[in-house]
Structure formats: C-alpha cells, structure tokens
Amino acid sequence: MACLYGHGPRLLNLEKTPPHLQFNDLILTGYRPISTVHGCLRSLFYLHNEFGNIYSHGIPFFCFLVLLPLNIPWSDVEQTWMCVFHYLACLSPTVGSVLYHTFMNHEGGEPIYDTLLSLDMVGVCLVNTLGCLPIVYITLMCYPVMRILALFAYSIISAWGILCATTARSNYGRLRAFIWQALFRLVLFLFRWQGDGVGSPTSLHLFFTMDMLAVLGGLVNLSRVPERFSPGFFDYWFNSHQIMHVLVICSIIYMHWGMLEDLAWIKTFQCPVME
C-alpha cells in the first residue's frame, strides 16, 4: 500500500520508536524513523501513520489561505481588524498542526518535539482567541464599557489558556486549558440568545455548532476512539486524532460562516439611542 504514495524508509513499530513519540499506545505501526529536516519533508510523499494528520490540516490550510480572502468582506467593514483577526484565526491551528506532525520525528529529539507541540497548542489557542474577539465586539456593540471589559477579560483568559496548554503534559491537561474560554463564549452566546447582546439572527446557531464540534473533537481525541476497540487497525487512517482534525476544520468553517453573517449584519445595524 505504501508504494502508492512513494517509497520511504522502513517504518517502525511502536516499541522501536523513541519514548516521546509513543503518545498513543493504540497506534502500533507506521512510525517514521528519526530524521533530518530533509527526511521529515520527504515523509510528505510516502505513507506513514502521521500522513493523514499532516494532510487533514495541510490541505485545508492552503484552501483557507487562498479562498478566505476572496470571501471576507474587507472593504465593507469599518472595523477591518475583525476581518484580519478572523482570517488569522482560521489559519493558525492548521499551521501549527502541520509543522508539528511533519517534524515531530526530527533528529533534535524530545526538545524539538516539545517545541513543536507547544507551537501546535499556540495555534489552537489563537483560533480560540482571535476567532472570538470579533464575536465579543459585535455581541456587546451597544455596551461600550462592557465591551472593553469583556475584550480585556477574554484576552487575559486566553493568555492563561496558552500558558496552561503549552505546559500541560497530557491530552487531558491540554483540553482542560481551554475550558475557561469555552465557558466565556457560552455566557456570551446566552447573552445574545436572551436578546441582550446583538448580532445576526442567523449566526448564533453557527457559533454554537462551532463550539460543539470543537468540544467533540477534543473528546474523541481524549477517548482514543475508534482505535481503542481495535488497536493497530486504525494506525494509518480514521484514528481519533484524524477524526479530531476533521472536526476542527468543520468547526472553523462554521466559525467562518457565522462571522460572515455578523459582518454582513453589522453594516446596517445601529444601536438604539439610550434615553
């Protein structure tokens, strides 16, 4: 099967790979040997157990990079920073992920691996941070003081989340690092749902779906389903991490759809005059 993708080096079983790469003991085969930068890049062209992880975020990265600028209404929005933040938010998790999965077997060993993992986590934190700040701004548009405080509070929570995510030593710890951001967004969505916050009437369910997909992806990755039920069978395709990648991309797409609705809505909305 590997010959369909090009010839690569002899792949390793779990017990032959370095300890820092044995983070999922249910993936039994298909590990790349320790490689130089050139060897890591060469692995883009042959099948191994990180191949699907690389391309499940690599292909969306290039699609987002090229297509989103054509879809974002840059000139129609007075607050251009919201468009910039949104664009960067859509790109950030895919960049860190591709670098992490491509170079995790670099000959630099565990220090390089830890740096790449931290970069991957920073990308996840950025989509949670940069992606939500425009939503905070729009939801509280008619409450200037509350809006400033909320933007500041969410930025502080996000900074704390980045610190926790990049220093966590387990998947559970990394998932837990995003809880406060998720709770903040939940309160924000409830505020909008009750009619106190503002925004496009059609965007709220898109943002809610965005978060549900992201949470589901994290839980799937944490549970290691489906490989838990058949160790070794999902080494190359359809394992929990790949499923999480797909769910993350779907979450980003829903975030984009929701933001497009809000950006179209904000052009015609005027806050009511307070008596």
Cis peptide before 93 (omega within 30 of 0): no
Over residues 15-21, the mean pLDDT reads 95
Does the residue 208 lie in any domain? yes
Residue 101 marked as a ligand binder? yes
CATH number at residue 221: 1.20.1070
Model confidence pTM above 0.85: yes
Count of domains observed in the chain? 1
- Domain containing 222 equals 29-267
Does the residue 10 lie in any domain? no
Over residues 251-255, the mean pLDDT reads 98
Does the residue 82 lie in any domain? yes
Mean of per-residue pLDDT scores for the chain: 93
Does the residue 274 lie in any domain? no
Does the residue 159 lie in any domain? yes
The answer to whether 160 and 179 have CB atoms below 8 angstroms apart is no
Residue 38 marked as a ligand binder? no
**pLDDT tens figures, 137-188:** 999 999 999 999 999 999 999 999 989 988 888 888 888 889 999 999 999 9
Over residues 110-122, the mean pLDDT reads 95
For residue 4, the model assigns a pLDDT of 46
Does the residue 9 lie in any domain? no
For residue 274, the model assigns a pLDDT of 60
The phi, psi pair for 78, rounded to 5°, reads -65, -40
| Res 42 pLDDT > 80 | yes
The one-letter amino acid code at 107 reads: E
| Side-chain-side CA neighbours of residue 148 (13 Å) | 2
The answer to whether 34 and 17 have CB atoms below 8 angstroms apart is no
Does the residue 125 lie in any domain? yes
How far is it, in rounded angstroms, from Cα 15 to Cα 142?
59
Residue 205 marked as a ligand binder? no
